[in-house]
Structure 1
Amino acid sequence: MNVFATAMDRIYANPSMAVAALWISATTSEETSIRVIRRAPDHITEFGAARFVSDTMMVDVRVADLPGPRPNDLIVIGADSFAIQGEPMRDRERLIWTLDLRPT
Structure 2
Amino acid sequence: MKLRGRLKNMDYIELIPSLSHCIETVAKEKYWSAVNKFMEGKQEDKELQQRIELLKAFLESTDFGKLRRESEKHLIQGEKVKFIIYWKENKPSYDMVATEGGILNSEH
TM-score by length of 2: 0.28
Higher strand share: 1
TM-score by length of 1: 0.29
Structure number with greater CO (CA < 8 Å, separation at least 6) is 2
